[in-house]
Structure 1
Amino acid sequence: MTLQIGGEDEEEMDYTKTYIRLLNTNIYCEHAIQDKPPILLIHGFVASSYTFNRLKPMLANDFSVIAIDLPGFGKSEKSTTFTYSFDNYAELVLKCMDHFQLDEAFIAGHSMGGQIAMYTAIKSPRRVKKLILFCSSGYLPRANPYLIYSSYLPFFQLIAKRKINAQSVVRNLKNVFYDHSLITKDQIEEYGKPLQDKNFPKSLIRLLRHREGDLSSNELRNIHIPALLLWGEEDKVVPLTIGKKLCQDLPNAQLISYDKAGHLITEEKPNELWKQILSFTGVRMK
C-alpha cells in the first residue's frame, strides 16, 4: 500500500501490511524496511499502531519503520493463551527485532507502550539504541489483588464485556485529544472496531491478571540508555507531572512538552515530534 509522506512535495513510500507469528501469536505489523536506522513503534492501552498514523510516514523518510499491534489490541490476535505481562510484551518486541534481523533499534512507545519500551531496555539494554517515550505511563501499581481474584469468577467476563460496550469511542477520543476538531471518522472506526472482537474482553482480563506494576524509581535509575520524553501539557490521562518525575529518575533523559496538546500527542503534534526525534537520534534532516 502506498502512503503519502509529509507534504505534497515529498516522495511516496511503500508500506507492507502483514501478519507475523511471534510467541505463538498472530501479530499485525506495518513496516517500511530500508537501508536506514530502524525504529520500532509501540502503541498504548486499547490502541493500535494507528496511534502513529500521522508520524509514521514522516519517519519513513529517515528510518526503517516497524509498527506492531500488541497482542490483544488492534488487528492482532486477541489471544486467550498469551501472557499479557510487560515482561512478555518486551520479549515480543525483541522477537520482532529478531524477525527483521535487527541487532539494535530505536524503540518508541506511547502511553503503556512507553512502559513496554522501558521494560525492553531493562531486559536487553544492548539492543535498544535510544528510547523515545510519548506521554509514557509511569508509577502505576499492579491491579488490586481483590480485583485480580474477582476476575476468575464466572460473571466477571460479562461485566467486562458490558463495560466495554458502554464505553463511547468518541468520548474516549475526546479525553485524549486537546483539539477535538482533529477527531476523524477514520479514528473512530479504527479504535472502535477491535472492541467488537469476541475475545477482546478475555484479553483485557488476562492483562489485568498478568500486568506487573510500572517500573519503580530504583529500576528506572538503572536505565542508562538516552531517553527523549515528549509530552502534551494538557494530557489528562498521564499528566505532565509523571513526565517530570520520569525525567528525574531516568539518568540520561530529557523532557520536551507542548502546549495545546493532550495525551494523543502523536496525532496533535506530529511535525514537532518528527523534528525532535531526528535531532535526538542524530539522523540528519533532508
Structure 2
Amino acid sequence: MAVPHVIHRFLDVGGVRVFYRQAGPAGTPDAPVLLLLHGFPSGSHQFRRLMDALGDRYVMIAPDLPGFGHTEVPEGFTYSFDRLADVLEGFVSALGLDRFVMYTFDFGGPAGFRLATRNPGRIAGLVVQNANAYEDGLSDVARETIANRPGVPGAEENVRRLFELDVTRDQYEGGTTDVERIAPDGWTLDQHFLDLPGRKDAQAGLALDYHSNVALYPEWQRWLREHRPPALVVWGTRDPFFTEAGARAYLRDLPDARLHLFETGHFALEENLPEIAPLIADFVDDLYGTTHAATVRTATT
C-alpha cells in the first residue's frame, strides 16, 4: 500500500505568510494537480485524510486561507472574500500552478470561483462539495445569516455567535447519520484557531462580507456556462446551510457534471470519505483520459 509523504511549508504572498500542505507521487512530475480549498471554520487540516487516500496518485496542495489555520497576515489586513481571492491568486502564481483541478468547499467556493473567473484557463476541472453558487441552495438559516452585513443593527453580534464551540461542533456532527464516524479532532482544532487573538475579528469581517458572494452568483454561473469545466459535485444533503437544491442547480449550467448526493451534513468528507475519494479519483483519471456524461446518484450509509 502506497502512503504519501505530506510536506508542510509557508509561502510569502504579498506579506501574507501562507501555510500549506502538499502531497504527491514521487518521480511523477506530470501528475495531475488538485488545489484543495477549505471552508469555515476549518483549514487545510480538513483534507488530511483525503491527502493520505489520494496523495500517492496526484499532486495535492491545500493552503490555509487568511484568517484560518496557520497562515499569518500582516497588521491591518482587510478580511473580505476579494482579499482571500487576491492571496489565493498570488499563491497559485508563486507555485507556478498553470492548470489544476480545483476542489471547492464552503468558503473555498467564493474564493475559488473568484480565482476561476479571473484565470479561467487554469481550471482543468471542478470538484464541488457543499460550495454554493446558486440562490436555490440557500436555506432559510443561510439567508438569515447572510442578511448580516455592515450597517445592519446587531449584525456583528449575530455573526459572532457562530464562533463558539457548540456551533463549531454542530457543523461537523449536525446532519450526520453516524456521529461515531466524526472524529472530534476537526471541530476541536477549528475552535483552537477561532480562539486565537484576532481570529474572531477576522471571521466577523468575512461573515459580514458574505453577501458579496451572493451578488456574484450570476457571474459565476455565466462562467460555468461559457467555459463548461468538467465537474464532479458531491453534496451532503443534510447541510443546514446549503441545501440539495444548490447541488442540483449546477446541472443547469453544467449538464454533463457528475452529481452524487450523500445523506450527511456540511462536512461530507468527515463521514463519507471512503465513498467520495474513489469518485474524485475516477473523475480526475477520466478527466485526463476519457469523459463521461452526467450521472445523478443518491448514496446512503
Q: TM-score scaled by structure 2? A: 0.78
Number of residue equivalences: 271
Q: What residue is the counterpart of 2:10 in the other structure?
A: 19
Deviates more, 1:102-111 or 1:48-57: 48-57
> Does 68-77 or 169-178 show the bigger shift?
169-178
* Residue 241 of structure 2 corresponds to residue 242 of structure 1: no
In structure 2, distance between residues paired with 1:163 and 1:116: 20
Report the CA distance between 1:158 and its aligned residue: 7.5
Measured after TM superposition, the shift of residue 242 of structure 1 is 0.9
User: Secondary structure of the equivalent of 1:222?
Assistant: helix
Please say if residues 118 and 131 of structure 1, whose CA atoms lie closer than 8 Å, have aligned partners that are also in contact: no
The 5 A counterparts of 1:135-154 are: 135-138=130-133, 139=135, 143-144=146-147, 147-149=149-151
| Counterpart check, 1:254 vs 2:254 | no
The 8 Å contact of residues 231 and 256 in structure 1, kept in 2 or not, is answered as yes
1:40 alignment counterpart: 35
Residues 162-186 of structure 1: per-residue CA shift (max 9 Å, x gap): 7634644333322253421122232
Q: Paired residue for 2:191?
A: 192
Alignment partners' CA distance in 2, 1:80 and 1:13? 36
Structure 2 residue ranges without an equivalent (≥5): 290-301
Equivalences for residues 1-286 of structure 1 within 5 A: 10-34=1-25, 35=29, 36-77=31-72, 81-138=76-133, 139=135, 143-144=146-147, 147-149=149-151, 164-165=163-164, 167-175=166-174, 177-211=176-210, 212-214=212-214, 215-217=216-218, 219-223=220-224, 224=227, 225-250=229-254, 252-258=256-262, 260-282=263-285
With over 3 angstroms needed to count, the CA separation of the structure-2 counterparts of 1:160 and 1:268, relative to structure 1, is closer
8 Å CA contact retained: 1:48, 1:74: yes
CA gap 1:199/1:62 in 2 versus in 1, 3 angstroms: same
SS of the residue 1:47 aligns to = coil
**Which AA in structure 2 matches 1:198?**
P
Please give the per-residue CA displacement for 1:218-243, whole angstroms capped at 9, x wherever unaligned.
54132222221111233333111111
**Helix, strand or coil for the counterpart of 2:132?**
coil
- Shift of the 218–32 alpha-carbon distance from structure 1 to 2, 3 Å rule, reads closer
Are the counterparts in 2 of residues 78 and 200 from structure 1 also a CA contact under 8 Å?
no
2:295 is matched with which residue?
none
In structure 1, how many angstroms separate the alpha carbons of the residues matched to 2:116 and 2:162?
34
Alpha-carbon distance change, 123 to 176 in structure 1, aligned in 2, over 3 angstroms? farther
User: Is the 8 Å Cα contact of residues 41 and 168 (structure 2) preserved in structure 1?
Assistant: no
Contact 1:229–1:243 (Cα < 8 Å) also in 2: yes
TM superposition shift of 1:63? 0.6
The answer to whether the 8 Å contact 1:33/1:64 transfers is yes
Cα 1:239–1:78 change in 2 (3 A) is farther
Residue 33 of structure 1 deviates from its aligned partner by 4.5
Once the two structures are overlaid, the 10-residue window that deviates more, 94-103 or 54-63, is: 94-103
Once the 2 structures are TM-superposed, how far is the Cα of residue 58 of structure 1 from its aligned partner? 1.4
Aligned-partner SS, 2:174: helix
CA separation of 1:171 and 1:209: change in aligned 2, threshold 3 A:
closer
**TM-score, length-scaled by structure 1:** 0.82
Distance change >3 Å, CA 196–CA 126, structure 1 → 2: same
Alpha-carbon shift at residue 282 of structure 1 (Å): 2.4
Give yes or no for contact 1:42–1:110 (8 Å, CA) kept in 2. Answer: yes
C-alpha distance in 2 between matches for 1:67 and 1:73: 12
Structure 1 residues 46-79: Cα deviation after superposition (integer angstroms, max 9, x where no partner): 1111222221211212111101111111222366
Cα distance between partner residues in 2 of 1:239 and 1:163: 19
Contact 1:247 1:253 in 2 (8 A): yes
What amino acid is the match of 2:258? Q
Give percent identity, aligned residues only: 24
Structure 1 counterpart of 2:117, one-letter code: I
Select between 40-49 and 164-173 the one with higher mean Cα deviation.
164-173
**1:248 Cα offset (Å):** 1.5
Q: Secondary structure at the match of 2:62?
A: strand
